[in-house]
Amino acid sequence: MSQFPQSRPRRLRNTAAMRRLVAETRIDPAGLILPMFVREGITEPRPIASMPGVVQHTRDSLRRAAAEAVDAGVGGLMLFGVPAQRDAVGSAAVRQDGILNLGIADLIAEVGEQTVVMSDGCLDEFTDHGHCGVLDDRGRVDNDATLEVYADMAIAQADAGAHIIGPSGMMDGQIGVMREALDAARHQDVSLMAYTAKYASALYGPFREAVDSQLTGDRRTYQQDPGNAREALRELELDVNEGADIVMVKPASTYLDVIRDVREATHLPVAAYQVSGEYAMIEAAAANGWIERDRMIDEQLTAITRAGASMILTYYAVEVARRSR
């Protein structure tokens, strides 16, 4: 018997061209979604210190950045609004002249025919207490009272032109209530991206700076416990039955097993959100020379795709799309 190996997997790793040819997982720019922030009352884009390279946009700079993203080949845009004034019930979220709804209309006017415009269907940016819903007289998030606001918020965003609404509040029944409200308002063509498994993660810190969050305390009474994976499948079943069109896992890189479980349990498109803390960790480590930045970006996005996500919300969307040309 020959002393040499009869099987040589290294043959398919010899050159960059060969590795590219036999790659099992590819990052498709059309599946990348760029999260964007539009802030009321500013006259120029405002950098977010904990997220180098990411800004809070003015309405004008939002339109320019959206056009650049579409030109790069990004598949969609997810918009978050930062209002100048907040109150206990997040009333700016449902007003036609609220910054998020104005921003949605701006994106539709600028790139609505070329891309998918998505909007955040949550109240945390709009409440003066920073929670994702309205509070009861004991200071707890009132699930059912919040659903009533979510229904109005969904209609307002659909009226502004949103193609997809992503309710991220993790309220029980939110998909069903918003689907019913949208259909009753003759917005049956507006899709819902369910935040099926949104974990109470330590990775959201930079995002809270991005939206100037007023939160004190935490969101553990409504976001999912990081130790629970089977619970995500229960949430998935509920979201599917309530009418979700797309399901999402958030964060992404620390919940690859959950992405895989969700992918195997549904035929719906599966999204994952590479969140602000994931972005900030890469940027901080790269700035200190501890990692190779571009390789780490690609490695994380590849892992998220390999786990089963067909679309990824990432602040690297434009950069990666340009490099993929």
Catalytically active residues, by annotation? 198, 250
Q: How many CB atoms lie within 10 A of CB 295?
A: 10
CA 138 to chain centre: 31
Please tell me the distance from the alpha carbon of residue 311 to that of residue 29, in angstroms, as a whole number.
Answer: 9
Write the CA distances from 55 to 51, 120, 207, 286, integer angstroms: 8, 17, 11, 19
Residue 137: both structure tokens together: 């007289």
Cβ atoms < 10 Å from Cβ of 200: 15
Tokens read off for 230? 């089977």
3-state helix/strand/coil string of 251-319: CCCCCHHHHHHHHHHCCCCEEEECCHHHHHHHHHHHHCCCCCHHHHHHHHHHHHHHHCCCEEECCCHHH
Cα 46 from chain centroid?
21
Three-class DSSP category at 89: coil
What torsion, rounded to 10 degrees, do the Cα atoms 320, 322, 324, 325 define?
170
State the alpha helices, DSSP H only, in the chain: 16-22, 59-72, 99-111, 143-160, 174-184, 205-210, 230-242, 256-265, 276-287, 293-307, 317-323
